[in-house]
Amino acid sequence: MKLTFSPGSPFARKVRITAIELGLIDKIELVPATVAPTQPNEAYSHDISPLRKLPALILDNGEVIVDSYVIVEYLDELAGGKLIPASGAARWKVKSDHSIIQGMTDAMLLCRYEVGVRPKELLWQKWVDDQWDRTWQGLTRFENHPDILTRPFDISQIALVSLLVYADFRFPDCGWRAAFPKLAAFHATMLERPSVRASIAPAA
């Protein structure tokens, strides 16, 4: 299998950590890709995804699986179901928490594109503030309802650490640690996991 990725992508990091945790990383060749708003990449559009987003998982039979959550579901099924509960209340809690974190990550990425990619004269600060608020409200929610931080290891925790690594990378002065001490403690513990460390190492 091949995985398109970029080292800084929070969505690709989630998939890489998942693959390591499931013991599948040696079956996956990491293929760097460059996709960004306003940058045409016709080969990627044509061969991998018309949405021009990474990560994408290219199976050995040529089929392509897109969207980081669909990819982790696929990998989790291959590994026998370890990171997404199979049924019942726990399943819907994990999937719902994951969806919130996915939306928070989308919102932070949109802030990055608006501030770092869009021409300065076209910047719409109110819109950036609104997107940022969605991420911040999400962090507030998990700080105030911290069961996600302590329950058995699952995909929503991997998504959360991937978001926080991205926050440090793109918005190092945003002050999330001071604002959310429980999340900061969770993140410090997660950074000790070999899978998370490997995903951050320069060679990864």
Ligand X SMILES: N[C@@H](CCC(=O)N[C@@H](CS)C(=O)NCC(=O)O)C(=O)O
Residues forming contacts to ligand X in the complex (CB under 6 A) are: 9-11, 35-37, 52-55, 67-69, 109
Structure tokens at 186: 């969770």
How many CA atoms are closer than 13 Å to the CA of 24, on its beta-carbon side? Answer: 23
**At its nearest, how many Å lie between ligand X and the CB of residue 100?**
13
Nearer to ligand X, 44 or 136 (CB): 44
Nearer to ligand X, 98 or 187 (CB): 98
**At its nearest, how many Å lie between ligand X and the CB of residue 144?**
25
Cα gap 28→36, rounded to integer Å = 23
Nearer to ligand X, 117 or 185 (CB): 117
What are the phi and psi torsion angles at 173 (to 5°)? -100, 15
**At its nearest, how many Å lie between ligand X and the CB of residue 102?**
6
For tokens 């800084």, name the residue.
8
**At its nearest, how many Å lie between ligand X and the CB of residue 54?**
4
**At its nearest, how many Å lie between ligand X and the CB of residue 78?**
18
Measured torsion, CA atoms of residues 23, 24, 27, 30, in degrees rounded to the nearest 10: -110
**CB-CB contact of 191 with 39 (8 Å):** no
3, 24, 57, 63, 122 from 19: Cα distances, Å: 11, 5, 12, 18, 39
Nearer to ligand X, 37 or 181 (CB): 37
Given its phi and psi angles, is residue 62 left (phi above 0), alpha (psi -120 to 50 degrees) or beta? left
For tokens 């058995």, name the residue.
152
Nearer to ligand X, 8 or 194 (CB): 8
